[in-house]
């Protein structure tokens, strides 16, 4: 009977002994170091228990929530790590054993901080800081993985959600110290926000033309927008081509548009630059309308015709200038035959475009249409430049003497 009474008491004492961590006089880790991770962990457990569904059924929003959780962990562990590093650097500097700046350390990337921690003896003196570095790295990696998964599941038309994911992801890059990655993601965020704003206001997202002419209602903007949305996008192949063109366009247009907005003095120059493009759009409209009985054929001809004009108007002067400089320096001018591999490439892309249109395989249609346009621009400009070079006093290879 006595044993039965004491057994529960012994069990309670055992639980207390296990649950109370030992206190070491040399450790400066406090309970506060665990408060946020523990509370966040409890919140995530509650979230998981409340989900009541397999992970493979998660939506993009679920992965964003998961990414946000790990981003908070990533940020908090990084803060704790840096606070301990600051204290160590200050102590070592005061005792004359370390030179350097705390601000330099804080501006370093996560990997550079780890290198410093090992080389300076910081991690040897503070093993818990090394543990915080590992936790920071793991949490940041997990956050990035979830954001990438969320982006994969986000529809191309959900610009607000794309902007949110890019915004959160940029903050993870900030913690990791990847400045280039953070800048690229923020550019993508700006592009998504611009698309969302343009859609909400009933306008298109022709950022550079809008910034140049000052209003999304300007006739020049409407010309480009209407041809793209009301004509090209109405056909399967045309819509895939617009997707490819947007991927190229939004890689640089937010930066250019912001530069134009911040420097009004460049607007007159940009108007002169864009006038030929508006003319090309008008001519392309005419060509497209002549072939409108077959939208697929009209789109293919439009890509080739538009690419040719863009190459001749914008790229040819640059190539002729380069050849003129090469001639002045007595460099050998390439023969026209050197473009033959590019002709084969162009023909292959045209074949790929036709295959993509017939099979309705989006990846083939998008890649081949975008690359065909770029290849047409460069090939036509290059061919015209080499053809004209003898008339400008430049002798191509194989025609000397």
Residues 235-252 have pLDDT tens digits of 888 888 888 888 888 777
Judge whether 218 lies within some domain: yes
Residues 239, 333, single domain; the answer is: yes
Average pLDDT over residues 154-160: 76
Residues 228, 373, single domain; the answer is: yes
**Of 29-38, 187-196, 227-236, 277-286, which has the strongest mean pLDDT?**
277-286
221 pLDDT above the threshold of 80: no
DSSP letter at 333?
B
Judge whether 373 lies within some domain: yes
Judge whether 21 lies within some domain: no
Domain end (from 203, 238, 273): 203
Residues 198, 236, single domain; the answer is: no
CA pair distance 348, 354, nearest whole angstrom: 10
CA pair distance 162, 296, nearest whole angstrom: 31
Looking at residue 242, its pLDDT comes to 86
Answer for the pair 122, 116: CB distance below 8 angstroms, yes or no.
Answer: yes
pLDDT band of residue 393 (cuts 50, 70, 90) is low
Spell out a b/e string for 154-185, using b for 16 or more CB atoms within 10 Å of the CB, else e. Answer: beeeebebbbbbbbbbbbbbbbbbbeebbeeb
124 pLDDT above the threshold of 70: yes
355 pLDDT above the threshold of 90: yes
Domain end (from 168, 203, 238): 203
pLDDT band of residue 185 (cuts 50, 70, 90) is confident
pLDDT band of residue 200 (cuts 50, 70, 90) is low
Residues 286, 304, single domain; the answer is: yes
Looking at residue 32, its pLDDT comes to 41
Looking at residue 10, its pLDDT comes to 58
Q: Could you tell me the residue range of the domain that residue 390 belongs to?
A: 213-401
Domain count of the fold of the chain: 2
89 pLDDT above the threshold of 60: yes
What residues are paired with 333 via a beta bridge? 396
Q: Which residue has the higher pLDDT, 233 or 28?
A: 233
Residues 188, 240, single domain; the answer is: no
Residues 137, 227, single domain; the answer is: no
| Range in 12-26, 150-164, 358-372 the model is least confident about | 12-26
Q: Which residue has the higher pLDDT, 58 or 4?
A: 58
Percentage, residues of the chain above pLDDT 70: 78
| Range in 80-84, 155-159, 195-199, 202-206 the model is least confident about | 202-206
CA pair distance 265, 38, nearest whole angstrom: 55
30 pLDDT above the threshold of 60: no
Looking at residue 2, its pLDDT comes to 47
Looking at residue 293, its pLDDT comes to 87
pLDDT band of residue 36 (cuts 50, 70, 90) is very low
The pLDDT tens digits for 270-318 are 999 888 988 998 898 888 889 888 888 989 999 999 999 999 999 999 9
Residues 136, 190, single domain; the answer is: yes
Domain end (from 172, 203, 234): 203
Average pLDDT over residues 335-348: 90
Judge whether 22 lies within some domain: no
Average pLDDT over residues 112-129: 88
Residues 163, 90, single domain; the answer is: yes
Judge whether 74 lies within some domain: yes
Average pLDDT over residues 25-46: 44
Judge whether 19 lies within some domain: no
Judge whether 227 lies within some domain: yes
Residues 155, 267, single domain; the answer is: no
Q: Mean of the per-residue pLDDT values for the chain?
A: 79
Looking at residue 249, its pLDDT comes to 80
Q: Is 393 left (phi over 0), alpha (psi -120 to 50) or beta?
A: left
Find the radius of gyration of the CA atoms of the chain. 31
Residues 174, 231, single domain; the answer is: no
Looking at residue 8, its pLDDT comes to 57
Residues 176, 236, single domain; the answer is: no
CA pair distance 397, 178, nearest whole angstrom: 46
Query: Which of 20, 309, 64, 30 is CA-nearest to residue 166?
Result: 64
Looking at residue 57, its pLDDT comes to 64
Judge whether 23 lies within some domain: no
Looking at residue 349, its pLDDT comes to 93
pLDDT band of residue 184 (cuts 50, 70, 90) is confident
pLDDT band of residue 388 (cuts 50, 70, 90) is confident
Residues 189, 284, single domain; the answer is: no
DSSP letter at 21?
P
């Amino acid at each position: 009977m006595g044993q039965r009474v004491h057994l529960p008491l012994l069990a309670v004492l055992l639980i207390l002994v296990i649950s109370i961590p030992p206190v070491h006089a040399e450790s400066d880790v406090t309970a506060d170091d665990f408060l946020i991770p523990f509370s966040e962990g409890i919140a995530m457990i509650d979230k998981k228990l409340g989900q009541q569904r397999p992970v493979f059924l998660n939506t993009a929003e679920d992965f964003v929530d998961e990414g946000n959780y790990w981003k908070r962990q990533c940020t908090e562990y990084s803060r704790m790590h840096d606070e301990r590093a600051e204290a160590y650097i200050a102590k070592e500097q005061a005792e004359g054993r370390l030179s350097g700046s705390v601000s330099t350390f804080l501006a370093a990337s996560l990997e550079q901080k780890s290198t410093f921690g090992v080389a300076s003896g910081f991690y040897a003196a503070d093993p818990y800081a090394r543990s915080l570095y590992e936790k920071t790295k793991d949490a940041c990696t997990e956050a990035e993985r979830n954001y990438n998964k969320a982006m994969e599941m986000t529809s191309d038309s959900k610009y607000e959600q794309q902007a949110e994911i890019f915004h959160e992801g940029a903050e993870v890059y900030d913690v990791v110290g990847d400045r280039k990655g953070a800048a690229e993601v923020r550019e993508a965020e700006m592009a998504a926000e611009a698309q969302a704003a343009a859609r909400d206001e009933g306008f298109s997202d022709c950022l550079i033309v809008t910034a140049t002419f000052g209003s999304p209602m300007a006739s020049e903007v409407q010309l480009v927008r209407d041809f793209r949305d009301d004509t090209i996008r109405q056909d399967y192949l045309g819509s895939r081509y617009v997707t490819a063109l947007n991927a190229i366009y939004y890689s640089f247009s937010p930066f250019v548009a912001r530069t134009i907005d911040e420097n009004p003095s460049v607007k007159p120059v940009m108007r002169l630059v864009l006038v030929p493009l508006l003319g090309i759009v008008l001519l392309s409209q005419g060509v497209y309308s002549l072939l409108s009985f077959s939208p697929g054929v009209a789109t293919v001809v439009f890509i080739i015709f538009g690419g040719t004009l863009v190459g001749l108007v914008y790229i040819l002067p640059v190539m002729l200038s380069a050849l003129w400089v090469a001639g002045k320096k007595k460099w050998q001018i390439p023969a026209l035959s050197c473009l033959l591999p590019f002709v084969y490439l162009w023909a292959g892309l045209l074949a790929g475009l036709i295959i993509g249109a017939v099979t309705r395989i989006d990846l083939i249609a998008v890649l081949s249409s975008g690359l065909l346009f770029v290849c047409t621009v460069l090939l036509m400009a290059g061919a015209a430049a080499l053809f004209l070079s003898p008339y400008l006093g430049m002798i191509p290879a194989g025609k000397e003497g």
